[in-house]
Structure 1
Amino acid sequence: MHELIAAPYLDSFLLVRPGSPKAAKLPFAEYSWLLRAADADADCPTWLADVAQRTWGVGLTGRRLREAVAVRLLSPYGYGRASYELNLGCNYDCEHCYLGLKQFSGLEWPERERLLQVIQAAGVLWLQLTGGEPMIDKLFPETYQMAYELGMMVEILTNGSRLAAPKNLTLLTRHRPNKITLSVYGATAEAYDGLTRRKGAYRMFIKGLNAAHEAGLPLDLALIITRHNTHEADAMRALADRYGLPYREYTHMSPTIYGGAESLASQAPDHLADREPFRGCNAGHTFFHVDPHGMASICKVGRDNAVPLMADGIEGLARLGGVADSLMLRTGGCTGCRLSGTCRVCRPLAKVYQEAKAPLNRYCQHAETRS
């Protein structure tokens, strides 16, 4: 199995290694040489072996290029990143979850295999596997392995409850992910199990965290701070520090993808962190999201006018740029807003808050001006 990936990424060409944040830029001439050499079943060239040794400590001297490096083709679609929800089902029942109903359904293997090939052909180098809880999906091992074999840098968003399972741990150790992001819902069983509404959830999380940490897998923590666990915020940070892991804090709870307000009740208003002003993003242009049924949208929030990839194929992605531009227009309650220049949320996110009839202070600066 490949050690490195050589791939186009937006306007450049990169050499990357799964599980490492390091990357080396490739001149177009060297990328083109690798394409030809891989087809010819040549050995790794000296210059490539030098880069691999210097950057990652990987020895490629004397190895076949095709075996050591996954050389990705140029894509006319120019996407660099994507996220894929394997399944909306979950083994937790968190009050704050933006997925709402969390129904177990998704593509069977033949369609899922074709979907992964479409994602790769679109140019995607970084792929995020999410859910629901992706590791309880019956086809998670097959999906992960194929994404890896197709030469994508795979990140897994997980609650960690299945990380210690021998089948999963063996798979992820043999074929290292680019990153595993673990959600943290508390620092004690009382808070963690209370937020997830699953007895024993904290024990499973710690077991998975320990197993992955001992295996040397690349971990990152997402600290989810709600009204249930604000008293443990410092302890959650201390937990991350104890393992020496990077972390980010999430304090803004969003409405559900169906426009429901039920998830907003978990918000801890005193812990709302100021968002940076929204300066635009490349959703729909260089990034896209795919739901469990193969519907491609500009992102996880802006799901309107989704493209059915199973019916339309990769050609359907050509429509996403126009969809993105239309969804970003300031419409509805945001038409003519005088604060739009410093607004802290994108239009699709503002729309779901408005549909959920959320308090203005959750997403809009007008709450401050009125007060």
Structure 2
Amino acid sequence: MHRLIVSPFLGDYLVLCPGDSKGLKVPGHRYIELHQAAADGARVPAWLCGPVHRQWGLDLQDQNAGTALLVRDEPPYEYGRASYEVNMACNWECPHCYLGLKEDAGMAWADRERVLHLLRDAGVLWLQITGGEPTIDRQFPAVYSLAYELGMMIEVLTNGSRLHNPLILSLLTERRPYRLTLSLYGATEASYDRLTQRRGAWKSFRRGVEAALEVDLPVEFSVIVTRDNEHEIDAMYALAKSYGVRTREYDHMTPTYFGSGETLSTQALTRGSRRGVFTGCDAGHTSLHVDPLGMASICKVARDKQIPLLTEGLAGLSQLGGIADRALLRQGGCSGCRLSEQCGTCMPLAQRYRQAGAPLGSYCQHAPKEVTTP
């Protein structure tokens, strides 16, 4: 099994260690040298051994480059990042979930395998595996293992409920992700189980967190703030601090990805209006999303135009840039707004709010007085 990944990434060349988000940058001629050394089965060059030892404490002296290094080829496209939704099913029933109906649908293994190879060939180096709840998918271990073996740096978005499972824990320990992001839904058993609508969810979460931390996996919390648990915000952060994990906050509930608005009633009363100015993103140009059926879109939100990877293959991805450019143009009521340059909501997300019939104030910080429409 490789110890380091050497890969092109958006015009640069990186040396990465699975399980660690930090890396080294090398010039193009050094990438070519490492590519050749790995192909020839030569020793790892001395110029790399010192920096690698200082960065990760790894001793690569006299080691075979073809074994120690996984050197990825130059890709025809520059999609450096992707998210892959392995399923939409979940073992919990959170009312704020943007997926809406959590149907258990997915591809046969041969198709999943092809999708992962296509992502690798497109240049994807950083892969986010998500769901639904990805760890309940029967093919999660195979998907994760193949992505790792193809030289991807992996983040898993999970509710943490199955991290104590010996098979999954062993998988993640032997093939380390660079990040495990666990959703935190409360600070007490009562609020946690109520929000997830699953008795025992709190205990499963705590058991999973503690199992992951015991083997030193890189755990972070996504603190989910809704109407049901906003009274425990301080306690949730205190819990994260007691575990010694980093946090990010998610407090702006959105419509489902297909534009229904049942999730909006879960919006916390004291949160949700603190978005910064949206200045654009890399969606469709250097990043993409793939759903459980192998349909590629520019991101998780904008799924109106999707590319069937299994039939169109790698060449189909060339359409995503144009789709992204059209999707980010101001549309609907925003097309005549003189303050739209100051907005914190991207156009695809604004479209979801409109489809859901949401009040303007739920996604426009200028509403109601400052917004002008045609």
* TM-score computed with the length of structure 1 as normaliser: 0.98
Q: Is the 8 A contact 1:225 1:249 kept in 2?
A: yes
Give the equivalent residue in structure 1 for 2:60.
60
DSSP 3-state at the match of 2:154: strand
DSSP 3-state at the match of 2:361: helix
The answer on 1:192 being equivalent to 2:165 is no
* Alpha-carbon shift at residue 331 of structure 1 (Å): 1.4
- Of 119-128 and 41-50, more deviation after overlay is shown by 41-50
Give the equivalent residue in structure 1 for 2:357.
357
Give the equivalent residue in structure 2 for 1:233.
233
Q: Is the 8 A contact 2:20 2:177 kept in 1?
A: no
Note the 1:126-205 alignment, pairs <5 A: 126-205=126-205
Give the equivalent residue in structure 1 for 2:101.
101
Give the equivalent residue in structure 2 for 1:14.
14
Amino acid of the structure 1 residue aligned with 2:339: L
DSSP 3-state at the match of 1:6: strand
Give the equivalent residue in structure 2 for 1:242.
242
Give the equivalent residue in structure 1 for 2:120.
120
* Alpha-carbon shift at residue 11 of structure 1 (Å): 1.2
DSSP 3-state at the match of 2:37: helix
The answer on 1:24 being equivalent to 2:28 is no
Aligned counterparts of 1:368 and 1:81: Cα–Cα separation in 2: 37
Q: Is the 8 A contact 2:275 2:344 kept in 1?
A: yes
Q: Is the 8 A contact 1:226 1:251 kept in 2?
A: yes
Give the equivalent residue in structure 2 for 1:333.
333
Aligned counterparts of 1:222 and 1:365: Cα–Cα separation in 2: 24
Give the equivalent residue in structure 2 for 1:45.
45
DSSP 3-state at the match of 1:369: coil
Aligned counterparts of 1:2 and 1:50: Cα–Cα separation in 2: 18
* Alpha-carbon shift at residue 76 of structure 1 (Å): 1.4
DSSP 3-state at the match of 2:70: strand
* Alpha-carbon shift at residue 273 of structure 1 (Å): 4.3
Q: Is the 8 A contact 2:82 2:128 kept in 1?
A: yes
Q: Is the 8 A contact 1:79 1:286 kept in 2?
A: yes
1:207-237 C-alpha deviation (Å, 9 max, x unpaired): 0000000110011100000011011111100
Amino acid of the structure 2 residue aligned with 1:244: G
Q: Is the 8 A contact 1:252 1:362 kept in 2?
A: no
Amino acid of the structure 2 residue aligned with 1:200: G
1:33-69 C-alpha deviation (Å, 9 max, x unpaired): 1111111111111111112101111111121112111
Aligned counterparts of 2:62 and 2:260: Cα–Cα separation in 1: 58
Report % sequence identity. 53
Aligned counterparts of 1:365 and 1:96: Cα–Cα separation in 2: 21
Q: Is the 8 A contact 2:2 2:69 kept in 1?
A: yes
Unaligned runs of 5+ in 2: none
DSSP 3-state at the match of 1:92: coil
Runs of at least 4 residues off by over 2 Å: 368-371
Q: How many residues align?
A: 371
- Of 160-169 and 36-45, more deviation after overlay is shown by 36-45
RMSD over aligned CA atoms reads: 1.0
Q: Is the 8 A contact 1:339 1:365 kept in 2?
A: no
Aligned counterparts of 1:288 and 1:321: Cα–Cα separation in 2: 10
Aligned counterparts of 1:181 and 1:67: Cα–Cα separation in 2: 30
The answer on 1:297 being equivalent to 2:265 is no
* Alpha-carbon shift at residue 365 of structure 1 (Å): 2.5
Aligned counterparts of 2:103 and 2:139: Cα–Cα separation in 1: 16
1:252-280 C-alpha deviation (Å, 9 max, x unpaired): 00100121100111111222241010001
DSSP 3-state at the match of 1:366: coil
* Alpha-carbon shift at residue 151 of structure 1 (Å): 0.3
Aligned counterparts of 2:273 and 2:38: Cα–Cα separation in 1: 49
1:273–1:2 Cα change, 3 Å? farther
- Of 155-164 and 51-60, more deviation after overlay is shown by 51-60
